[in-house]
Structure 1
Amino acid sequence: MKNLFNKYKTVVQFVALFLGTYLVLGILYSIYLKTSEAGAYFPDFITNLVAEQSSAVLAGFGYNSTLSPGQIDNAMLLTINNEYSVSIVEGCNSISVLILFVAFIIAFSEKFKKTFLFIFSGIVLIYIVNILRIAFLVVALHKFPEHENLLHSVVFPGVIYGIVFILWMVWVRMLSQVSKK
């Protein structure tokens, strides 16, 4: 058994770091969501901020956008041109995707400074892409409502997960180049 463990030590270490980081960050995020239920921001600060920033991007593209709290679910309703609304819910704020990204990078961690800078840069990039993704999704749904399922369930999730995958590959490639030297 010891030989088997030694043989797959790096795999076991990766899985342990990945799952441990994912679990800890997931629990912290759950605590954040629970404590923000009675907070000043609806539905929570981060989701509210994402909705506000997505609305600002739409305004920057010349769309008249308004935000209001959702009456049925814990969501911000984003309306453009007074005729089409979407619900921005907690799942739209990209935190779950960021947790997945961070867990992978930590599982393949390098020196602290390099890892920290890559995580920070990746979080900023993913967050910005998510804001733009929501704004483009709202416009696409406004113009092509008949393709809602394809746009919301396939194309735009593919964008955010595609960015995460590309960042993972960049990180692994950076590590493999260091190990070659």
Structure 2
Amino acid sequence: MKEYLIQFKPFLLFLAKFAASYLVLTFIYQSYLNQFDVAKMEVDGFTKVVAQQSQKVLSIFDTNSYTESNFKEASVKLYYKGKWAARIIEGCNALSIIILFVSFIIAFTGKLKPTVLYIICGSVLIHVMNVTRIALLCVALDKFPKYDSLFHDLIFPLVIYGVVFLLWVIWVNKYSFYAEKPAAK
């Protein structure tokens, strides 16, 4: 048994770091969300920010874009061309994707400064992509409403998860302690 533990130590260490960081970050996020009463239609502040930033991006395409509170559910209504285009719920804010991204980076640790910088830059990139995704989804659904499931459920998630996967690959191959170092001359 001891030889298996030694043999699989890197994998088990990765798994332990990933699970621990994911659970801690999810607990923190859930504690944050528990401050808001969904029954009273309260929306968390970060989801409101994502909706407002998406509206700002939409205003590039149309000046008649705006947000308003939804009094029937815990969400923010996003309008494009004066029409209700999307409802922004907690799941639209990409924080769960950022938690997954950060947990993976922590699990494949590198030096402290590059790790922290990569986590910050990667998280900002994911956030910007998500805001852009929401805005472009509204534009796409305005032009092609019959493809709503294709855009919302397949194309846009594929793009954002594809970028997260690419960020992971870059991290593991360039910056983590597992990255191959160039041979000294």
Task: Say whether residues 1:153 and 2:153 are aligned partners.
Answer: yes
Matches within 5 A, 1:29-108: 29-37=29-37, 42-108=42-108
Shift of 1:70: 1.5
The runs of at least 4 consecutive aligned structure 1 residues that moved more than 4 Å come to none
CA offset digits 1:42-89 (Å, max 9, x no partner)? 501100000000001111233411211122221101011122421010
**Partner Cα separation in structure 1 for residue 151 and residue 86 of structure 2:** 13
Give distance in 1, aligned partners of 2:182 and 2:15: 23
CA distance in 2, matches of 1:43, 1:151: 25
- Pick aligned residue for 1:179 from 149, 158, 181: 181
Q: What corresponds to 1:170 in structure 2?
A: 170
Q: Is the 8 Å Cα contact of residues 122 and 167 (structure 2) preserved in structure 1?
A: yes
Shift of 1:129: 0.7
What are structure 1's unaligned runs of at least 5 residues? none
| Secondary structure at the counterpart of residue 179 of structure 1 | coil
Amino acid at match of 2:158: G
State the TM-score, normalized to the length of structure 2.
0.91
What SS is found at the alignment partner of 1:35? coil
* Aligned counterpart, 2:3: 3
| Count of residue pairs the alignment pairs up | 179
Secondary structure in structure 1 of the residue aligned to 2:110: coil
Counterpart-to-counterpart distance in 2, 1:115 and 1:127: 18
Code of the aligned partner of 2:92: C
CA distance in 1 between partners of 2:72 and 2:142 (Å): 21
Quote the Cα distance in structure 2 between the aligned partners of 1:177 and 1:12. 18
Deviation at 1:178, TM superposition (A): 4.7
Query: Which amino acid in the other structure matches residue 179 of structure 1?
Result: K
2:128 aligned partner: 128
Q: What residue identity is the alignment partner of 1:14?
A: F
Aligned to 1:138: 138
One-letter amino acid of the structure 1 residue matched with residue 181 of structure 2: S
Q: Within 1, Cα distance between the matches of 2:82 and 2:125?
A: 30
Structure 2 gaps, min length 5: none
Shift of 1:35: 1.3
Please give the per-residue CA displacement for 1:10-65, whole angstroms capped at 9, x wherever unaligned. Answer: 00000000011101100110000001339xx9501100000000001111233411
Distance 1:157 1:144, change over 3 A: same
Tell me, yes or no, if the aligned pair for 1:42 and 1:69 is still in contact at 8 Å: no
Secondary structure of 1:110's counterpart equals coil
After superposition, the CA RMSD in angstroms is: 1.7
